[in-house]
Amino acid sequence: MPLPVHRYRPGTHPRGEDTRRRILETALALFSSGGFEGTSTRDIAERAGVNLPAIQYYFGSKEGLYRAAIAHIGDQALQAIEPIAARIWRALDAGMPTQPELIALLCEMIDALISLFLDDSLPERESRSLFVSRVEVEHTAALDPLNEVMRQHLLAPSSALVGRLLNRPADDEQVVLRTLMILGQAKIFCSRSVMRGLGWNAIGESRVRAVQSLVNEHTSAICRALKSPAA
Amino acid sequence: MPLPVHRYRPGTHPRGEDTRRRILETALALFSSGGFEGTSTRDIAERAGVNLPAIQYYFGSKEGLYRAAIAHIGDQALQAIEPIAARIWRALDAGMPTQPELIALLCEMIDALISLFLDDSLPERESRSLFVSRVEVEHTAALDPLNEVMRQHLLAPSSALVGRLLNRPADDEQVVLRTLMILGQAKIFCSRSVMRGLGWNAIGESRVRAVQSLVNEHTSAICRALKSPAA
DNA sequence: TGCGAAGTATATCAACTGATTGACAATATC
DNA sequence: GATATTGTCAATCAGTTGATATACTTCGCA
C-alpha cells in the first residue's frame, strides 16, 4: 500500500513562501550583527512580523534557521567567486600561463572578493561581511560550510596561482602563507571596525573600484618581486 | 569626623588576590572563545574554582569582568607596540628618513604585530588574537578601548610612515587604505580558522619568524613600488 | 583573645531563553 | 460545498541566565 501523496508541500503556498522568506531575511540581518547566541528567536519573530512558532514550523529549530541563513550567504559567495576559480583551474590545466597572466587572474579573484565584501549594490552585503568575520570567532559547526566554500574556491585556486609564480607546489607552506597574506589585504575590508574607522557608511562604486585598484597594485608588486627557487 | 580608614582593600589579601587573578584568567580564556553573550558567569565561576557571587564581589558585574579582561589584553597589546610607535614618531619628527629607513620602521611594527598574534611564548596569546577578531564582530562599547589602542598606536604611526613614502598627508584616504591593506597581511594571522586551516596548533618561534620574514618581504615590495605624486 | 573587616558559600530571585501545545483560519483539491 | 492540509496564533513549559540576600569562615591587628 503506497504512502499517501501530499499534494501540498511546505513553501508551496504563496503566503507561506513569503513568510518563510521574511523570516530568513530578518534572521540573516540579526544573526550577522548579533551572532547565534546574541540573537533570540523572539526578536527575529517580532521583527519579521510573525509569531514565535513560525520559526520552528519553517526551519525546525533556531539552529536550522541559522544554518539556512549561512547556506544563503554561502551560495552568494560561491556565485561570486566560483566562475573565477573555474577560469583559474582551466588556465592552469591548459598550459603554462605567463607571469602577467597569472597575476591578472589573481587580481581578478581579489576584485571579486572585494566586490563581495564592499559592493552595496549586491544583496545583503553587510551581512555577508559580518558572517565571514564570524567564521573566525564563532566556532559552531554551522559555519563550516561557509569556511569550506572560501577554502575550496578562494584559497585553493589562489595558492595554485602563487605556487605557479614561485615554481612550487600549491600546498607548499610558503605558498599558502604568501597567498593568505595577499588575500588578507582584501579581507581587512570585511571588518566592521575598519569600515567605521574610515567613516564609510555607504560605500559606492567609486570606493569599491579604488580599493580594487590599490590592492591590485600591491598584489602585482608582491608577485613581481617573487623569485622562483629555480631562478 | 573622618571616615574610617580601611586598612584592607579588596585585593590586598593574598588569598583574595589569588582568587581575583584566577577569575580574570579563566574569564579571559572563556570570553575570548565564547564571547560575552556565549559565556555564563556560572561557567567562569566553576572553572575558576570559586562561587558565583565572587564575580560580583571582585568585578561588580559580568560586564565589569569583561571590561577587566579586555583592559588586560589592551595593556599587553600596548606594551608590545607602543615602543615602536614612539620610535616611529621620533624618527618622523626628527628629520627626513630615507625610503629604506621608513620601510624598516614599518616592518618593525609589523613584526611586533605578528609576535603579538602568533608568539606562543607570550602570555594569553590565543585570547589576544580572538579578542582582536572579536572587535569586528561584537559591538559592545566594552571593546572600544582595545580598538582605540590599535587605532592610535598601530594604524596612526603606520599610516604616517606610508604617508611619508607617498609624499602625502597621513590622513589621506589612499594612504590609510594602503596602510590597512599592508597591515591586513599580518592581521589575517589572528584568525582562528586560518590557523586551523594551516594545521598550526602549536606555533613555535621558527614559524613566527617565517611569517615575519614573508610579510616583510611583501611589505618592502609594496613600498618600493609606491610612487610619490611629485615623482 | 576578641573585634571587625575580607572573603566564601548556599539558596533563591526575577527575567529571559528556545521550544511545544492545541486551538483557529486560510486554502487547494475533490 | 466537504475535507484534509497548510499556515497562524495565544498561552505556556522547563531550563538557564545574571544578580542578590544572607549566613558563614578566615584573617590582621590591638
pLDDT digits (tens, 9 = 90+) for B179-190: 999 999 999 999
The answer to whether residues B188 and B194 touch, using CB atoms and an 8 Å cutoff, is yes
Residue with cell 579563566: B26
Residue with cell 541563513: A69
Give the pLDDT confidence of A74-105 residue by residue, as tens digits: 999 999 999 999 999 999 999 889 999 999 99
How confident is the model over A205-225, as a mean pLDDT? 97
Residue with cell 591578472: A104
Exposed e or buried b per residue across A15-46, where buried means at least 16 C-beta atoms within 10 angstroms of its C-beta: ebeebbeebbbbbbbbbbbbbbebbebeebbe
Asked if residue A231 has pLDDT above 90, the reply is no
Asked if residue B3 has pLDDT above 70, the reply is no
Q: Which residue in chain A has the smallest CA separation from B33?
A: A137
Cell reading at A78: 560561491
Question: What dihedral do alpha carbons B85, B90, B96, B98 form, nearest 10°?
Answer: -50
How confident is the model over B193-201, as a mean pLDDT? 95
How confident is the model over A165-169, as a mean pLDDT? 96
Residue with cell 605557479: A164
Cell reading at A8: 501540498
- The C-alpha angle A135, A137, A143, rounded to 5 degrees, equals 30
pLDDT band for position B14 (50/70/90)?
low
Strand C positions within 7 A of protein Cβ atoms: 5-12, 16-22, 26-30
Q: What are the residues whose beta carbons fall under 8 Å from the beta carbon of A92, sequence distance 6 or more?
A: A160, A161, A164
Asked if residue B174 has pLDDT above 90, the reply is yes
Tell me what pLDDT residue A223 has: 98
The answer to whether residues B19 and B55 touch, using CB atoms and an 8 Å cutoff, is no
Nucleotide with C1' nearest the B43 CA: D17
Tell me what pLDDT residue B16 has: 64
How confident is the model over A164-174, as a mean pLDDT? 97
Instruction: Give the torsion sign (CA, B154, B155, B160, B164).
Output: positive
pLDDT band for position B8 (50/70/90)?
very low
Give the pLDDT confidence of B140-167 residue by residue, as tens digits: 999 999 999 999 999 999 999 999 999 9
Q: Which chain B residues are Cβ-neighbours of A165 within 8 angstroms?
A: none
Tell me what pLDDT residue B95 has: 83
Q: What are the residues whose beta carbons fall under 8 Å from the beta carbon of A186, sequence distance 6 or more?
A: A110, A113, A114, A117, A215, B181, B184
Contact across the interface for A38 and B37, Cβ inside 8 Å: yes
Give the pLDDT confidence of A2-33 residue by residue, as tens digits: 223 333 444 455 566 889 999 999 999 999 99
Closest partner CB to B197 (pick from A33, A151, A191): A151
Strand D positions within 7 A of protein Cβ atoms: 5-12, 16-22, 26-29
pLDDT, averaged across chain B: 91
Tell me what pLDDT residue A126 has: 95
List the helix and strand counts (H, then E) for chain B: 11, 0
Give the pLDDT confidence of A40-58 residue by residue, as tens digits: 999 999 999 999 999 999 9
Tell me what pLDDT residue B4 has: 29
Residue type, B120: D
SS3 A108: helix
Dist CA A98 CA B77 (whole Å): 43
Tell me what pLDDT residue A227 has: 76
Give the pLDDT confidence of A172-192 residue by residue, as tens digits: 999 999 999 999 999 999 999
Q: Which helix (H) or strand (E) holds A103?
A: helix A99-118
Contact across the interface for B135 and A181, Cβ inside 8 Å: no
Q: Is B72 left (phi over 0), alpha (psi -120 to 50) or beta?
A: alpha
Nucleotide with C1' nearest the A60 CA: C19
Q: What are the residues whose beta carbons fall under 8 Å from the beta carbon of B65, sequence distance 6 or more?
A: B23, B24, B27, B41, B44, B55, B58, B59
Q: Which residue in chain A has the smallest CA separation from B146?
A: A193
Instruction: Supply the DSSP string of A162-204, one letter for each residue.
Output: HHHHHTS-TT-HHHHHHHHHHHHHHHGGG-HHHHHHHT-SS-H
Cβ neighbours, 10 Å, residue A172: 15
How confident is the model over B35-62, as a mean pLDDT? 94
The answer to whether residues A86 and A108 touch, using CB atoms and an 8 Å cutoff, is no
Q: Which residue in chain B has the smallest CA separation from A127?
A: B137
Residue with cell 598550459: A95
pLDDT more than 90, % of chain B: 88
SS3 A28: helix
Tell me what pLDDT residue B227 has: 76
Q: Which chain A residues are Cβ-neighbours of B183 within 8 angstroms?
A: 188
Dist CA B7 CA A205 (whole Å): 64
How close are the terminal C-alpha atoms of chain A, in Å?
74
Q: What are the residues whose beta carbons fall under 8 Å from the beta carbon of B154, sequence distance 6 or more?
A: B81, B85, B109, B113, B183
Tell me what pLDDT residue A111 has: 98
A6 touches strand D (CB under 7 A): yes
pLDDT more than 70, % of chain A: 91
Dist CA B63 CA B102 (whole Å): 41
Instruction: Supply the DSSP string of A70-96, one letter for each residue.
Output: HHHHHHHHHHHHHHHHHHHHHHHHHS-
Cell reading at A182: 595577499
Give the pLDDT confidence of B53-96 residue by residue, as tens digits: 999 999 999 999 999 999 999 999 999 999 999 999 999 999 88
Closest partner CB to A137 (pick from B137, B173, B221): B137
Tell me what pLDDT residue B228 has: 64
B6 burial level (CB within 10 Å; 0-12, 13-18, 19+): exposed
Phi/psi of residue B184, nearest 5 degrees: -55, -30
Q: Which residues 46-65 in chain B have a CB closer than 7 A to strand D?
A: 52-53, 55-56, 61-63
For residue A209, the Cα-to-chain-centroid distance in whole angstroms is: 19
- The C-alpha angle B116, A146, A33, rounded to 5 degrees, equals 70
Tell me what pLDDT residue B231 has: 45
Asked if residue B5 has pLDDT above 50, the reply is no
